[in-house]
């Protein structure tokens, strides 16, 4: 299609235009008699309807291409604006993620401190009372409390617990220790 258009444009401008009244048998050196001038420098001269149609089609295509280029330029601007906006939001999200990470670390540190404090309290209690209370706690909390105690204090508490509960906590405790090593 582009070759056809190029060939038509070349043909249009390379062929000598046929001027209206050029087939008159008048003397070329004699100026034309009265009548309006049909060949102005701004207006193109067409020798056929086909040339006019092709030129009009080319002009329409040029306008369409220019319109599409403007639309593409506007879309590029919009995409760049949106990209900058997305980058800004990603930076904000990263900042928020870092803040959340820091807050979670603080929360974990506070929980670990509470468990250490509770562990110290239960270690100072009599083993039979501590065993009665720890056996009613959530298994993960009980294991954490026993893990923070000295081995001798934890052994005395486990010794005063129900045999099945002590076995469950010991199994969970050993799983915790192996998970911490890996």
pLDDT for 177 equals 61
Residue 22's φ and ψ, nearest 5 degrees, are -75, -20
The encoded tokens of residue 155 equal: 């052994």
pTM of the complete model: 0.49
Give the pLDDT confidence of 46-57 residue by residue, as tens digits. Answer: 678 888 899 999
Question: Which strand (E) or helix (H) includes residue 99?
Answer: helix 49-124
Domain chopping of the chain, boundaries: 49-181
121 closest CA partner among 138, 156, 145, 139: 145
> Which of the following CATH numbers is that of domain 49-181: 1.10.220.30, 3.30.200.20, 3.40.50.1820, 1.20.120.160?
1.10.220.30
Is the model's pLDDT at 43 over the cut of 90?
A: no
- Taking residues 55-60, what's their average pLDDT? 92
CB 142 within 8 A of CB 130: no
């Amino acid at each position: 299609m582009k070759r056809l258009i190029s060939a038509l444009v070349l043909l249009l401008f390379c062929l000598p235009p046929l001027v209206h009244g050029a087939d008159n048998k008048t003397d070329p050196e004699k100026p034309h008699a009265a009548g309006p001038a049909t060949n102005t420098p701004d207006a193109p001269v067409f020798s056929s309807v086909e040339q006019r149609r092709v030129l009009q089609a080319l002009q329409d295509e040029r306008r369409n291409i220019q319109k599409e280029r403007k639309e593409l330029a506007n879309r590029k601007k919009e995409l760049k604006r949106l990209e900058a906006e997305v980058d800004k939001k990603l930076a904000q999200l990263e900042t928020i993620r870092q803040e959340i990470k820091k807050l979670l670390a603080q929360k974990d540190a506070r929980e670990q401190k509470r468990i250490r404090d509770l562990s110290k309290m239960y270690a100072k209690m009599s083993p039979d009372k501590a065993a009665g209370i720890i056996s009613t706690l959530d298994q993960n909390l009980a294991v954490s409390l026993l893990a923070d105690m000295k081995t001798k204090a934890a052994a005395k508490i486990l010794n005063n617990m129900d045999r099945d509960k002590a076995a469950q906590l010991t199994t969970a405790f050993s799983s915790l220790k192996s998970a911490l090593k890996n």
